[in-house]
Structure 1
Amino acid sequence: MALPPSSSASSLSAASAQPTPLHLHLTSRAPGRLPLLHFSRAALPPPLRARIPRTNLPAAPGTPLHRALPPPPSASASSSSSIAGGGFGSDEADDGHNHHGGDGGGGGEGGGDDGGHNDHGGEGGGDESPGDARGEALFVLAQLGRKLDTLPSDLAAAIESGRIGGDIVSRFSELEANGFIKWLLQFEGFRERLLADELFLTKLGIECVIGLVAKTAAELQKRGDNFFKEIEVVISDVVMAIVADVMLVYLPAPTIGLKPPLARNASAIANFFSSCPDNAFQIALAGRSFTLVQRLGAFVRNAAKLLAVGTTASFIGTSVTNTVLKAKAVVNKDLEDEVVEIPVVQTSVAYGVYMAISSNLRYQLLAGVIEQRILEPLLHNQKLLLSAMSFIVRTGNTFLGSLLWIDYARWIGVQKAHDHEEA
């Protein structure tokens, strides 16, 4: 059936009005180069760079948040065109796209960024305990109704750096309730020791009380019937022992590290000894740790101090003894031939060496191992029993030290036994 002429003409005109479809035939080649395109590459939009800003949590309270900066104009301008542009582009554009795509996946620059964030997070993880300690200390301080500037400067700095926690702040407040202890807390050395060991003064008093009794008993046992014949030497031993007892308790006592770091121009030796604990065997507090070399350094440092203390104490003791002997000879002329002066210099140096080695080792073991690591964990809730046990072990240590000193002094020749005179 033939169509009407008018209908045929309208159909042809409608068909001729439709646009002819454009077919692009692309050969499969390696991405990156499209040499067969017949239009300018400059007209293509740049590739898409999708970057998600991340927010870093602060490592410690008070640290400001790191806000992600908005993407540069080039990146924002290209974000809408990458979907349409797909993989089209020049060598440089493709290289840049692949590079930043690797970034997003963590393989290239972005991976480096992530690594940087991980490093920062690692530091934050390392500072997690100090940060928690700082927050805990400030919380306890707020509960006590005090401000940070009301504390001693070294204690406040230790709180700010996260080296001490809330338990130390509570202990400081409790110790301040006693007027005498509050006065002692003004001195840095006593403050460090009282905060580390609330029974420090008790142990110091125990040592002073047993110093006279135990030293005298040891002298009596060791010298026997010659005790009164050698009474001048006995007095010398007891006097210098009492003078040294305080330092023997003070120096090896465990402490809380409140000392500020040394200046940058300090020597390597000074920096090393400042990092050593006060007791070679003490428990590391506030997340600190000590190496074997640092603990050996604690023994060496205390040995040097006790050498000076022992020499000074012995010098005082022997000088007092010689003065008593001379006064005794003046009063009783018959004793002039029997009085023998004690060699001051030799005895003083000998006693300093003895304290640096024997006393140093015994008192560090006593304070750092027997008391802090054994007795206190077992009896931390029974202060009276803990004090009694400390009294017993310190009495035994003092008595043993007196016996060892007599044998040592006779062995090096600064003291002589009178047993041969009885024969």
Structure 2
Amino acid sequence: MKNKNIKKEKNSAVLQVKDLKTYYPIMGGILKRRIGDVKAVDGVSFELHKNETVSLVGESGCGKTTIATSLLNLVPMTEGNVYFNGRLILQVKRKREILEEIFNPFSFSKVIDLGFFFLTKKFKKVFETLEPGIFDLYPMVKFLIASFLPKNASKRIIRILNRLARIYIDYNVSFSTRLRKKIQMVFQDPDASLNPRWKVVDIIGEPLRLLKGMKGKRRIRRNVLELLNVVSMKREHLDRYPHEFSGGQKQRIVIARALACDPEIIILDEPTSALDVSVQAQILNLLIDLQKKFNLAYLFITHDLSVVHHIADKVKVMYLGKFVEEGTVEDIFNNPSHPYTKALLSARPRFDPTLKRERVILEGDVPSPVNPPSGCPFHTRCYEKDKHVGCGVDEPRKIKIEGDSGEHYIFCLPFKDDVNQEWRFIPKDSEN
């Protein structure tokens, strides 16, 4: 576990996420209409400060990676606000309403149905950057059959679409170019992240050209060499291909590429899970050194609790797309307070087999995110639900655990006897 104190000033968070929701549409029926949603992330909020590591933990499928990809706009958010250095950079709800209005079938003549395929062929320049999710409500867009209209009429239609869709296009392009200079991501599998036909100098040099506008082969090669030295690699590695490296070396190359555009935040999606234990320790120590050197903020995604204990400052425990507990590493590991967190920690391997501990075994399976249970999402498997009020009816509230770091919270419901005075409800307006 890192030994450092992070000084936080008011509104000093480099990244603030408020009420993030990301749903994947389910299409069905003859016309492939939207019949439901996979609620991968369902209303989470958190902050990330400079020189701080926030870790997201939970079972596979709980929504950890979806949070990361949503922040980078790799997967479109359904709803939520994202602030970078105090500035609102992403506000999805209003923009999505505007986009849906563009393709509302009552906005244009309903003479004939025109499929999305034909629209994209006719108006490729307008539609090429639009996300497919905006067509979920109306898979067969009601529109004038543009392919048979006169040239001038087609131009008018393009102008109408362009004027409305430009709201999204401008936002999407500016978001991708501006924000990705400051937020980078390291994925789980380095083999899938590296182009096998490119040399290392080209792989790391690509963000220097595209995001920093750097020109000149010699200049790019010099900067790539500096980045390789930062991750403890040598000059002779410049002109090699990815297949010539070990798994740990490949991950170092990916980290060097992430550092190329001087980011403030790096999202790490299980960066050590595909590596040997000895190599894992080297990569983790490298990440800690880089964080101190460049004052980076990490959003660390993993299911390995021993790794969390080593690298994280704060921990967010997820279950079925929601946070169930959050706090510092000491809070979570020394005083787990949510039933799911207790079960998660009880499954952690111990080095001493003679050490006695209470094993919490959960019954049943994780509910489907397509049709999550009402009330608390964990109540169908909770072994303490008889002690609480309204678990299957009421939404969990944010409750502060007194006596710890002051930043320890669980998302739960009150005890029936309500005698535990250490639990305090957080007002709904101040939860975010």
Shorter-normalised TM-score: what interval?
Answer: under 0.3
Q: Scaled by the length of structure 1, what TM-score is found?
A: 0.23
Q: Scaled by the length of structure 2, what TM-score is found?
A: 0.22
Q: Which has the higher helix share?
A: 1
Q: Which has the higher strand share?
A: 2
The structure having more radius of gyration, on CA atoms, is 1
